Structure 1
Amino acid sequence: MSNPMSRPSYPDSVIAKAQKIKLVICDVDGVLSNGQVIIGNDGEELKTFNIKDGFGIKCLQKSGIAVAIITGRNSKIVEKRCQELGIEHYHQGQSNKQKAFESLCEKLSVTPEQVCHIGDDLPDLPLLIQVGLGVTVADGHWLMQQHADWVTQHNGGFGAVREVCDLILESQNKLEAIHQEYLAAGKLSEVKE
């Protein structure tokens, strides 16, 4: 049995950057998934996604923070996951992620300072350096960790994105309202019983 995580504390410099975020951009392999690609006999590509990450993304969206995907690979399963999560802006097959990044900033009227990028490896480094809040996962490449504003405690595909969602929501004073909503729902069910 693992120890439950305590409520995290964040450096003031990270909170200051997270307070400005209006758009979160995620890589897929190694961030939303664990980086493993399983190819079935029929050539279909399979990936695993963490439900906690998905819930965190939904919380961001509900709180008015946009979420987008920029990934180097093409995969039908990524398109399906984006549709499940209501992520309208996803760019696949982006060997150079800069163009998609600039397009998103223009389309959503955000500045690089208002963007958080979560990546794990060198193709993500250019975006990590230029955004307002650059984040890498616990098992991200060492150069990513060296240049990131913040490194998650969890590995990619195992709740790292949820950590970032909570960080941003907490810094913008939106997390407590989400917690209270679920606490109140629990108390209502207690009353009914």
Structure 2
Amino acid sequence: MLDKQVCRNIKMVLLDVDGVMTDGSIFINKDGEFCKSFNVKDGLAIELLRSHNILVGVISGKASAALDTRCKHLGFDEIITGCKNKLPALVDICSKYNISPSQIAFLGDDVLDIPIFEKVGLGIAPVDAHCLAIANSDWVSTLKGGEGMVREFVDLLLINKLDLPLKDIYKPLLDKIRYDDVAIMEQ
């Protein structure tokens, strides 16, 4: 269970990618290009956070064109890739947005994420994370990385943060979609 007071304090959600937004598989084609599979449900979770003015970013140990494309498509506020030591990136993000680590939730799945878990307000792991990551997290998803665990966490975070039913949490996102549809139909 998530602590409501901690959730109310969260202003930013940061994500590792491989093993969180993906199942950890990396496909390499004959030209050496990396391909990754992302869960569309997690993408909608990013939009939902943004509709509630919560900053969203990525701090990933790996870098690839596939990752850059997905992050840019989702409109992340911060995209930091190829970053093995994530703590300096966390410090820079906190300084840039004038927030403290306690106002950040970080979703990670491996031992490289433990130092971040120890600093942030919420450390979140998928059910298939490394056992040490799970032991150092504040909450463990019922889902594996790449199977919608980001969405599961975001729903729970916002329920606790906003103290609203789920249908009301999705209202700003749905209203935006409805408004955009009306604008398109009027053209």
Q: In the alignment, which residue of structure 2 is the partner of 1:26?
A: 15
Of the candidates 98, 110, 114, which is equivalent to residue 109 of structure 1? Answer: 98
Identity, in percent, stands at 37
Equivalent residues of 1:139, 1:155 under 8 A apart = yes
Of the candidates 95, 112, 115, which is equivalent to residue 126 of structure 1? Answer: 115
Q: Per the alignment, in what secondary structure is the counterpart of residue 126 of structure 1?
A: helix
Q: In the alignment, which residue of structure 2 is the partner of 1:158?
A: 147
**Partner amino acid, structure 1, of 2:80:** H
Query: Is 1:47 the equivalent of 2:30?
Result: no
Q: In the alignment, which residue of structure 2 is the partner of 1:38?
A: 27
Distance across 2 between alignment mates of 1:159 and 1:14:
21
Equivalent residues of 1:18, 1:167 under 8 A apart = no
The 4+ residue runs of structure 1 with deviation greater than 6 A are: none
Specify every segment of 5 or more residues in structure 1 that has no aligned partner in the other structure, as ranges.
Answer: 1-10, 186-193
Distance across 2 between alignment mates of 1:165 and 1:83:
20
Q: Structure 1 length normalisation: TM-score?
A: 0.85
Distance across 2 between alignment mates of 1:135 and 1:75:
24
Q: Per the alignment, in what secondary structure is the counterpart of residue 18 of structure 2?
A: helix
Distance across 1 between alignment mates of 2:118 and 2:74:
27
Q: Structure 2 length normalisation: TM-score?
A: 0.87
Deviation at 1:178, TM superposition (A): 3.4
